[in-house]
Amino acid sequence: MSLDTIRLSQPAKDQLIKLKRVTGIKNWNVLCRWALALSLQDETPPLVRNINPDSNVEMSWRTFAGAYGDIYMALIRSRCLRDGSEPTEEACGRTLVTHLHRGIGYLAGRPDLTSVDNLIKGAVE
């Protein structure tokens, strides 16, 4: 898995469409940043599973990370180490994708998430 292009599964795309509608956030990358942060906050590793990147949602690392690319990369590398993996490009790519998918699922599963205000309130609580 490479960090050059981040691809998501069809279920993740469907969840992001719902999240865009309820929060009013228009860009995939912004929602994905929230999802990554939410998943990384969870101490447990994501369930190891094969994620089929079968949707047409893809973004470059630069689009995903924006000006904070170094920070996101440090967080991903740190998580690889904490979960017992060497932070190779492949391991970092796998960590990013699994955490993105878990975080998207977390966000989509929140029944109280009806606006961007609820998203922010959930982050600070």
Q: Which amino acid is at 13?
A: K
Report d(CA 121, CA 118) in Å as an integer.
5
pLDDT tens, residue by residue, 52-102: 889 998 999 999 999 999 999 999 999 999 999 999 999 999 999 999 999
Pair 107, 23: CB distance under 8 Å:
no
Which pLDDT belongs to residue 1? 53
How far apart are the C-alpha atoms of 117 and 122, rounded to whole Å?
9
Task: Tell me the CA end-to-end span of the chain in Å, nearest whole number.
Answer: 34
Render 40-93 in DSSP notation, one character per residue.
HHSSSPPPP------SS-EEEHHHHHGGGHHHHHHHHHHHHHHTT----HHHHH
* CATH code (residue 26): 1.10.1220.160
The pLDDT score that the predictor gives to residue 115 is 83
Determine which helix (DSSP H) or strand (DSSP E) holds 20, and give its type and residue range.
helix 10-23
Average pLDDT, whole number, for the chain? 91
Mean pLDDT of 19-46: 94
pLDDT surpassing 60 at residue 8: yes
Residue 2 pLDDT > 70 = no
Number of domains composing the chain: 1
Note the pTM of the prediction, 2 decimals: 0.92
SS3 category, 7: strand
Instruction: Note the pLDDT of residue 84.
Output: 92
Could you tell me the residue range of the domain that residue 14 belongs to? 5-124
